[in-house]
Amino acid sequence: MELFSVKERTVFITGASRGIGKALALGFKNAGAFVIGTGRSDKSISWMNNVGIRGVVLDVCDKDQVQIVLKDSAQETGRLDCLINNAGLTAQTPMSLIKDDEVDELISTNLKGLIHTSQVFYELQKNKGGSIINIASIFAHSVVPATGTYCASKGAVLQITRSMAVEWARKKIRVNAICPGFFEAGMASDRMKRPSTETRLKSAIPMGRLGNSDELTGAAIFLASSASSYLTGQSIIIDGGVLSQIKV
């Protein structure tokens, strides 16, 4: 058994069309896994088939579609070893102003969507074994102004991770999370690339730079592989040291 190998394992990654999910999809593909990546439209997944990733359209908020897509994928590949719940949305609204529909959209995508996919994965893989990796955030641990509902959704992702881990451990399903810090690609990239924001962020990050999405792949491969066979209910913070430091 190769400890850190994901060769010939099937990995299903939601929100793989761009940003962190795209980096994870390419990272697993390069490590020898068979990758199924999702996006919400034919256009967003169109690059995948050219690089040997099976692209499928999926809205994680649509429970029936999640059932069909995951079951079809399992049937087609004969196995599903790992589910990476990466699809997510953010919002920049202060708590005093946030509207119900914005809260509903965030919770539906970041939390309910993750529950939909995980439940189907559990039904397919219980007793056979599998690893679920939930992409949370450092905002599960701490907050910045105007991100309250996003932070709440990511805090909930960590509690859901622990709950699934505890409930599903005896069915051979491990469930862990990764909490990224500030990464160059993805949902906040435009904001983070503003010169004033970038300078401020870099000074707050002990390593002095934003993360590169490729720097999440190693931890994800560890959590998907036999190297983490006794690890469940945990989260790994990958943030260049941000959360370890109190800025005074």
Ligand X SMILES: NC(=O)c1ccc[n+]([C@@H]2O[C@H](COP(=O)([O-])OP(=O)(O)OC[C@H]3O[C@@H](n4cnc5c(N)ncnc54)[C@H](OP(=O)(O)O)[C@@H]3O)[C@@H](O)[C@H]2O)c1
- Contact residues for ligand X, defined by CB under 6 A: 14-15, 17-21, 39-41, 44, 58-61, 86-89, 109, 113, 135, 137, 180, 182-183, 186-188
DSSP string, the chain: --TT--TT-EEEETT-SSHHHHHHHHHHHHTT-EEEEEESSHHHHTTTGGGT-EEEE--TT-HHHHHHHHHHHHHHHS---EEEE---------TTT--HHHHHHHHIIIIIHHHHHHHHHHHHHTTT-EEEEEE--GGGT---TT-HHHHHHHHHHHHHHHHHHHHHGGGTEEEEEEEE--BSSSTTHHHHTSHHHHHHHHHHSTTSSPBPGGGGHHHHHHHHSGGGTT--S-EEEESTTGGG----
Residues shown for the chain: 248
* Nearer to ligand X (CB atom), residue 20 or residue 31: 20
Report, in Å, the least distance between residue 12 CB and ligand X: 12
* Nearer to ligand X (CB atom), residue 10 or residue 137: 137
* Nearer to ligand X (CB atom), residue 92 or residue 229: 92
Report, as residue numbers or ranges, the catalytic residues: 150
Report, in Å, the least distance between residue 195 CB and ligand X: 18
Report, in Å, the least distance between residue 54 CB and ligand X: 15
> CA-to-CA distance for 242 and 224, rounded, in angstroms?
25
* Nearer to ligand X (CB atom), residue 43 or residue 171: 43
Report, in Å, the least distance between residue 159 CB and ligand X: 16
Report, in Å, the least distance between residue 91 CB and ligand X: 11
* Nearer to ligand X (CB atom), residue 91 or residue 124: 91
Ramachandran region, residue 89 (left: φ > 0; alpha: ψ -120 to 50; beta: rest): beta
